[in-house]
Structure 1
Amino acid sequence: MSDEEYYRSLGIDPTPRPPAPLDAEQLQEAKELDAYWTPERLRNARPLDDPEGAPLGDTHGMGSALRAASHEVAGGFDNVGVFVVTRAGGKEDRFCTASVVDSPSMNLVISAAHCLSDTDRFENFGFVPKYNDSANPKPYGIFRAEKNRVYLDGRYIKLGSSKADDLDFAFVRVQRNEKNQVLTTAVGGGNRLKFVGPGDFDQKNAHLIGYPGGSKKPRDCTATTKKFNDRFVQIDCDGYTPGTSGSPFLANWDGKRGDVFGVIGGYKTGGPTADTSYSSQFDGDINRLYVQAVNDYEPDKASSLGGGDTWKHAKAITSGTFYDPADYAAPARATALRGTEVRRTGSQDMIVLWDDGELSLYEGDGAFGFEKDRKLTGPNGTWKNAKAITAGDFTGGAQYDLMVLWVDGEVSLYKDVDYDSGSINNVQEITLQQPNALWKHATALATGAFGGNKWPDDVVVTWDDGEATLYWDTDAAGFHTEKKLADPGSVWKYARAITAGDFGGADNNDLMVRWTDGELTVYKDLGISGLGAENKVLAANALWRDHAKVISAGNFGGNSWPDDLMVRWSDGELTMYGDSSASQLGKELMLVPPA
């Protein structure tokens, strides 16, 4: 595949767009940075990933029969080098391994997130490609990191290296060097980013290249990688001591270029010993960061969802498109959200009902995360009487409406809820059912596209006697055609939570059910004809029986359909299972840590 075809496959404009030439002031700054990093400073810099100052160069038994031996490479490699920084008021010179990544922007470097998560304390921050042991340790000079252009996943920023260890990768955009040269032009090209799918963990003849502390020579090792803990790439190579964090895993390496499919990081920030190293899986998460970096978008910020003590009180969650699509045509709005491109894939938001009656709207960021909440109403006695909520497009216009079931049997519809609408009191309320004895017995609601028209306006209702009902083509005039899915007295009296999504990959939505014994079931392609095929996602289990309190599905990242399952646990933890299917849960991401 040509570079142009490759970039287009990622939805990136392949037109080269190198960084602008440095003006006189910037050029002077670049020269000062180059002057700061003397050969002596570079030689004495300590690893960023070694804050305790372990002995440098400790290779822990190189040459074990169980592991591949690494060897020093005098002179280094053109597109592998080191990030160098000064910390603590100029008293600590530090480094981590990094490498050049091919891109239309021609200025991207990749390393580990745990090396770059403290950039607000960095000074003299630059990249030295082909750092080596010759009389000229900076053959290509030094490329200053662009201000505010370090790309880490927002969940990693929020949760840290332990709880977000599967997101331990980062990109940095760099300026031209002190000779006004563009990075990839100067070094002769970077490595192409390679994604790791389910069958790609085992890579034969993979190279691992990195700079151990205390050495001016990179180490190179060739070995076969494998899967570890279902989400990390593992390589067994001797001698990768502190300093090698960020070292690229390279496939199809010809000595000058290859495909980078990992960087040392992830599990225990790369591994507890120097003889086995790990990388977080390069999947859709790194693809999103790569697109951000290439297009010079604003980097992620830390999630502001709060902690488990708060989320213990989340009573119900629903998802939908809670914004006016027309807003996203406005440049100011697009810039503020940073996610205009992501939004076009259909990324959704969530509304949370709290047990004190507060109602909050969280805008999705398209990457399994959310922005700070917008209060639709503060704690109040009225909304404490809301029994269940669901969202769908009941009134047309592609903007979602909020449906509320109240304890007295009333059912209300709030039309076109918008992130910018302010209070829920500013939203038009439509009464679908006056308070009544029948709907007092409804226990849960779930909305999807289950038949009839193509819109998500079909509502599944469970009742306390075990009946389950489908109402399709619901609108502002009320509930219309009714289909009984289960008779009173059926096993559905053991259904404790329901949500709708597209877990089976067809046009119709599916219904997910969490049962009282902890079993998790998906009914594929539920519709006018009935429940559809039953698929067991989880067998009965104590964890989900006792601790999974609220479930909700939507499209929050990854692919473009609503198959991301959110679970609020009894300890306040909020978990996302991204890109789940009708047979198994997807990749687990912690959005809120437990209390």
Structure 2
Amino acid sequence: MSTVVKGASAAAAAGIAAVCAMAFMKAPGERPVLPFPTVGVLMAGGEHWCTASVVDSPKGNVVATAAHCVAPAGEDGQPGEVAHDGLAIGELSFAPAFSGEGDGTQPLGLWKVKAIHVDDRWSKWGEDTADFAFLTIEPDEDGRSVQEAVGGRAEAPRPEWTSGYERDVTVVGYPESEHNPENRPVSCTTQTRHDDDDPDMLYMSCAGFWTGTSGSPWIADRGGAEPAGHLIGVLSGGDTDVDSTAALFDERAKALYERAARD
């Protein structure tokens, strides 16, 4: 299936179904309560590029996103030369809980990407089923990890490598400012299934997942015995803002995650 990727410069068609734009709330005299502190904007050269999210890891230094957000797709065994939209990707950084018009605010800081880990199936062959990446994030100047900054293990979902296709998930992403001028995250809780055109991909139907939402986490079991839930994949593409697909994490995704966690 050739899908429309939802990185910051890809186009997507309009949708009709409802989607929830999550507001930032604040009790009097308290710091803001952030609805999805682990999810934020992946920036390239300081500009909104994709969505990314913190995933639980031993050092608290791993963020998940889509492979096409951080590495060109390969073809015929050779690495690609440019990103999906023909632009250079640029220096990457991560702003969890980003919001606000224009340059917005970064309530939990701006975190430098130290290393990128992408499967050869993507970087050499451009396989949609490997459109996931794990990023190693530098600690801040005080030595804190990004996972500490977003709330630790209570907030960051654990990765799951052997999920089935029919799951209840919460998906959270940041559409680009054209459709989301206040840069607030959108979310949807729904059930996934096999994609009709590519049964190896996960599919969901929820409106509002426009350009910029590539890399959005697909979190199962949120609010259950482990409230942060389990990360089973990240948003890869879709033909419209309503139709979205994700590459399901597998054993090779696990190997990438483990490399990112060791860096």
TM-score (norm 2): 0.77
1:269-292 deviation line (CA, Å, top 9, x unaligned)? x11111011111211121111122
1:83 has 2:42 as partner: yes
Secondary structure at 1:177's aligned position in 2? coil
51, 71, 81: which one pairs with 2:9? 51
Q: 1:386-419: per-residue Cα shift (whole Å, max 9, x none)? A: xxxxxxxxxxxxxxxxxxxxxxxxxxxxxxxxxx
Give the partner amino acid of 1:281: L
Aligned counterparts, 1:127-166, within 5 A: 127-133=94-100, 137-146=105-114, 149-160=115-126, 164-166=127-129
Q: 2:197 matched to 1:233?
A: no
CA distance in 2, matches of 1:94, 1:210: 12
1:177 aligns with 2:140: yes
2:23 and 2:171 mapped to 1: Cα distance?
16
Match of 1:426 in 2: none
SS at match of 1:285: helix
Aligned-pair identity in percent equals: 32
Q: Which residue identity is paired with 1:242?
A: T
Residue equivalent to 1:286: 253
* Separation of aligned partners in 2, 1:127 and 1:107: 12
In structure 2, what is the Cα distance between the partners aligned to 1:157 and 1:221? 30
- 1:94 CA drift (Å): 3.8
**Residue identity matched to 1:261:** I
The whole-number CA distance in structure 2 between the counterparts of 1:48 and 1:116 is 13
In structure 1, which of residues 73, 81, 93 is the aligned counterpart of residue 22 of structure 2?
A: 73
Runs of 5+ unmatched residues, structure 1: 1-46, 64-68, 87-91, 297-595
**Match runs of 1:25-64 below 5 Å:** 49-51=7-9, 54=11, 60-63=14-17
Counterpart in the other structure of 2:167 = 203
Shift of 1:249: 0.7
Which of 240, 245, 251 aligns to 2:214? It is 245
Distance 2:111 2:20 in 1: 27
RMSD value, Cα: 2.6
How many residue pairs get aligned? The number is: 224
Distance (whole Å) between structure 2 residues aligned to residue 48 and residue 276 of structure 1: 11
Which has the higher Rg, Structure 1 or Structure 2? 1
Q: CA deviation at 1:124?
A: 4.1
Aligned to 1:485: none
Give the AA of the match of 1:83.
Answer: L
Higher RCO (C-alpha under 8 Å, 6+ residues apart): 2
CA distance in 1, matches of 2:158, 2:186: 21
Note the C-alpha offset of 1:156: 1.1
Q: Give the match for residue 96 of structure 1.
A: 50
165-174 or 273-282, which deviates more? 273-282
Aligned: 1:213 with 2:181: no
Aligned to 2:232: 261
Q: Which has the higher helix share?
A: 1
1:168 and 2:131 are equivalent in the alignment? yes
What's the CA shift for 1:152? Answer: 0.2
Which stretches of structure 1, 4 residues or more, deviate above 6 A after TM superposition? none
Deviation at 1:133, TM superposition (A): 2.9
Taking the aligned partners of 2:162 and 2:189, their CA distance within structure 1 comes to: 18
The one-letter code sitting in structure 2 at the alignment partner of 1:275 is V
For residue 102 of structure 1, what is the amino acid of its counterpart?
Answer: D
Gaps of 5+ in 2: 25-34, 73-81
2:114 aligned with 1:114: no
Distance 1:295 1:178, change over 3 A: closer
